[in-house]
Amino acid sequence: MNGDTPDHDQKSPLLPLHDQPISPKSLLSLQNFYILLGPLLAGLICLTVKLDAPSSRNMLAVLAWMFAWWMTEAVPMPITSMSPLFLFPVFGILTADEVAHAYMDDVIALMLGSFILALAVEHYNIHRRMALTITVLFSGEPLNPQILLLGICGTTAFISMWMHNTAVALMMMPVATGILQRFPTGPRSDVVTTKFCKAVVLGVIYSATIGGISTLTGTGVNLILVGMWKSYFPEADPITFSTYILFGFPLALFIFFAMWIILCLWFVPKGSGPTLSTYLDKSHLKRELDMLGPMAFAEKMILTIFSILIFLWMTRSITDDIPGWGALFNGRAGDGTVSVMMATLLFIIPNKKQPGEKLMDWNKCKKLPWGIVLLLGAGLALAEGVQTSGLTNVLSKALDFLEQVPYLAMAPAVCLICATLTEFITSNNATTTLVLPLLIEIAKTMHVHPLLLMLPGSIGAQLAFLLPTGTPSNVIGFTTGHIDLKDMLKTGIPLKFAGIVVLSVVMPTLGAFVFGTDSKHWSIGKSST
């Protein structure tokens, strides 16, 4: 054969085509029903619901359409997140330019810059060096399993303060399982080692979630909260990185230690140290750390840039007496400004590995989570649409009965509802986007500061500890084979309860101090409406 192909073969398609008739049965699939559910609900609302303003009714129809698609995942979530770009102009809520503006906000800039820096940390394996270093510090001689577990979980939570939860779980799980590979498996395994393996895997996935509560950049939920706060209450003091961490870090710290205590009680009893010491010693961890070699120039530069960024976030706005560097720009610069600026340096500074090669290039950024970026943009667009259409006034009137409900009962209930929803919706970002607009209207009806409900709602949406499908981090832990559903329920139920209790106590106390949410200083609801 000479490799020549007949003429008719050159014109034939690369893949065979089969004309398959579409059967009525395939059209009646559950997936197609979910796709139709959105526009059907929207049409039903437009035909049957009577409101004072047509724009309010149309906005309610759009909300029903989008929420139906989000809840059922009829189409990919990023596509649903882009639907306001055509639904708002078609339904007469906002112009194309106005709705597109919501998809590029300072909060989204903050997210993009943070994600690029996180990818740089991952690319140069800095997370592994940090994990091994801290684990060596906590392993002890002789081995103390409770302290070692604290070190692994603490490392995960610390990294998760600055990176996305799923990325942290993906990074730390190989480190954790690498430690657990030293233990016997199968018939040779004993109860002590099996339980410790469960504790480590559960600790990593839960710590990744808890660490994300600490800072604005820890998870997309916090950014959605800040974006909606800015959109609904533009005249109010913004929630800055430095302001939020004063509240989020102590809250996360309480929940973290509750998690550690629960894991130690269930899986790491006293007296397990001698058994585990047989398989795990400090010298082996040190050898792994030595194999990484000295820190290269690129790693040092990325850590330096990250440190400078954190410092700039913390000092942009400090107090009324000490305004911070943001005052030099008369409020024009935001947290997203410095986030993108520092990320840009990664594409300018050489890595000193190959001539002309920089710390980062755009090919390394292909893993940017655009779905989360679009979801945040959708949340900001919905917030703008609800206000512009007048739907906020309609919701306020419908929720008048809540004026008599005491806040001490409402906040835990809000947290519990959101913490339950997030187990089934699969995305805590979607849960937050769904419930925050409603919580804002409930807060206005109750005449309380909106953050008294917004914060319990957004943080409750992050307490997904029960089901493997609750968050991608849970899925990562579940696929290791070390844990099962019973282990997650056994640990997750008391941990979720502890998180709700801690939040219910911290919100009206520390929250009032940090955000000024006491009723004496609150006039936001009146000024914004």
Kindly report the three-state secondary structure assignment for every residue of 213-232.
Answer: HCCHHHCHHHHHHHHHHHHH
Residue count of the chain, please give it.
529
- Per the CB < 8 A criterion, the answer to whether 93 and 58 are in contact is yes
Q: Give pLDDT, residue 58.
A: 92
**Cβ partners under 8 Å of residue 229, min gap 6:** 236, 238, 239, 450, 451, 454
Plot region of 207 (φ>0 → left; ψ -120 to 50 → alpha; else → beta): alpha
Query: Does residue 452 contact residue 395 with C-beta atoms inside 8 Å?
Result: no
Distance, in Å, from the CA atom of 360 to the CA atom of 299, rounded to the nearest integer, reads: 12
Amino acid, res. 102: A
Rounded to whole angstroms, the Cα distance separating 214 from 163 reads: 11
Measured between alpha carbons, how far is 195 from 205 in angstroms, rounded to an integer? 16
What is the spatial distance between Cα 335 and Cα 246, in angstroms, rounded to a whole number? 16
Angle between helices 428-446 and 391-398 (to 10 degrees): 70
Q: pLDDT averaged over consecutive 10-residue blocks of the chain (529 residues)?
A: 48 54 64 90 91 87 88 85 93 91 81 82 79 75 85 89 77 76 71 89 94 87 88 86 91 96 91 77 76 88 88 74 78 84 94 88 84 79 82 69 70 84 69 82 84 91 82 78 88 94 89 77 45
pLDDT at residue 165 in the model: 81
Distance in angstroms (rounded) separating the CA atoms of residues 249 and 35: 41
Tokens standing for residue 371: 């779905």
Q: What is the pLDDT of residue 45?
A: 92
- Report the C-alpha gap between 56 and 87 in whole angstroms: 14
Q: Whole-angstrom Cα distance, residue 359 to residue 303? A: 12
Could you tell me the CA-to-CA distances from 389 to 30, 42, 139, 466 in Å, in that order?
33, 16, 58, 38
Q: CA dihedral in degrees (173, 292, 134, 500; nearest 10)?
A: -30
Residue identified by tokens 């997203």 is 336
This prediction's pTM: 0.71
DSSP per-residue string spanning 350-405: B-SSSTT-BS--GGGGGG--HHHHHHHHHHHHHHHHHHHHTHHHHHHHHTGGGGGS
DSSP string, 115-179: HHHHHHHHHTTHHHHHHHHHHHHHHTTTT-HHHHHHHHHHHHHHHHTTS-HHHHHHHHHHHHHHH
Q: What is the pLDDT of residue 427?
A: 65
Q: Please give the Cα distance from 162 to 160 (Å, whole number).
A: 5
**Cβ–Cβ contacts within 10 Å for residue 487, how many?**
19
Say how far apart CA 381 and CA 99 lie, in whole Å: 6
- Burial class of residue 361, CB neighbours in 10 A (0-12, 13-18, 19+): exposed
Reference 496, options 443, 442, 460, 451; nearest CA is: 460
Alpha carbon distance 427, 71 (integer Å): 10
Q: Which residues contact 315 (CB under 8 A, 6 or more apart)?
A: 242, 324, 325
Q: What is the DSSP letter of 510?
A: I
pLDDT value for 14? 53
Q: For residue 243, give every residue at least 6 positions away whose Cβ sits within 8 Å of its Cβ, in sequence order, or none.
A: 317, 514, 515
Q: Could you give phi then psi for residue 350, rounded to 5 degrees?
A: -70, 150
pLDDT at 6: 46
